[in-house]
Amino acid sequence: MNYKKIFSEIDVELENFKDNGTIANYIPELSIVNPTKFGVHLTTINGKHFSLGNADEKFSIQSIAKVLSLTLAYKLESEKLWKRVGVEPSGKPFDSLIQLETNKGIPRNPLINAGALVICDILISHLKNPKKDFIAFVRTISGITTIDYCPRIVASEKSTGYRNTALVNLMKSFGNIKNDIDVVMDFYFNLCSIEMTCKELSQTFLFLATSGVLPHSKERILSKSKSKRINAIMQLCGFYDEAGEFSFKVGLPGKSGVGGGIMAIYPNKYCIAVWSPKLNKKGNSLKGIKFLELFTTKTQTSIF
């Protein structure tokens, strides 16, 4: 398939697209990002690359990193994991306290903020040096040794992280956070601060298109069953309370972040990453979703 030609066609179609979204200005460091940036990169499972726009510029992947922490926690905990976090779509904002109270401190899924905080708590219990060990894991699965946390974004997140602090305290009151709250929060903010380019993002998540095998090293990082289940969670929960709309329009499992990034998987074919900082009211990249909707329609590569 001529992805380069398809990218160019969609780029022309989007010239008159009204990107009425807003950047994530509640995180100071994200509020200064150029809102007109736009990048796309697709990596096939046999190592072919296709780019458009600002695909080689680093940005904060934010909640997309939650799929990576989930991957490692699932690898370490196996099915015990689901005793502390569910697999259901939230149907609520990603930082809802009401839902967490109703469910007695058990988050609906691992990709909303509360669920990701539980995953961080689990990793802290398993890892000797959580931040160092986790970024080493990310570098292993991506094959890219330069991927790292961004201290500026960590500090920025900490300065405004009141709601996340409320979530972790509420879960601690229900006994679903085992470690020190400050340690959990620090790890969580670092997790969300990871920076990648669209190209790096599409390479990093390619293992979910190959049933858990790292394409660059042929190492199995997850079983086929676990890989399938992570894709299923992304399909159902990867876009907060807009997951159904994303499935309806795009038809791929994926994950978004409030930095404007989206990563999506087409099993046995490719991983595609898009970046456009302006978000809709649900916290997802407005132009990014439109690009992916046009892309899967033109290529007929929806999983449905």
Within 8 A by CB and 6+ apart from 252, the residues are: 235, 264, 265, 266, 292, 296, 301, 302, 303
What residues are paired with 256 via a beta bridge?
262
To which residue do tokens 């990563």 refer? 263
Kindly report the number of other CB atoms within 10 A of residue 87's CB atom: 16
Alpha carbons 119 and 124: distance in angstroms, whole number: 9
Catalytic residue among 3, 74, 149, 240: 240
Q: Where are the alpha helices (DSSP H) in the chain?
A: 3-13, 28-31, 65-77, 97-102, 113-126, 130-142, 151-160, 162-173, 181-193, 198-204, 224-237, 243-249, 286-299
R_g (Cα) of the chain, nearest Å = 18
Degrees (nearest 5) of the Cα angle 118, 203, 19? 80
Catalytic residue among 58, 66, 172, 290: 66
Catalytic residue among 74, 149, 188, 270: 188
CA neighbor of 287 nearest in space, from 24, 20, 4: 20
Catalytic residue among 40, 184, 258, 274: 258
Q: What is the 3-state secondary structure (H, E, C) of 195-207?
A: EECHHHHHHHHHH
Q: Is 26 a catalytic residue?
A: no
How far is residue 137 CA from its own chain's centroid?
16
Q: Is 33 a catalytic residue?
A: no
Handedness of CA 130, 135, 136, 140 (dihedral sign): positive
Catalytic residue among 51, 63, 96, 276: 63
At 129, which amino acid appears?
N
Q: Is 40 a catalytic residue?
A: no
Strand 39-44, strand 261-266: pairing: unpaired
Q: Is 258 a catalytic residue?
A: yes
CA neighbor of 138 nearest in space, from 89, 93, 193: 193
Q: Is 74 a catalytic residue?
A: no
Active site residues: 63, 66, 188, 240, 258
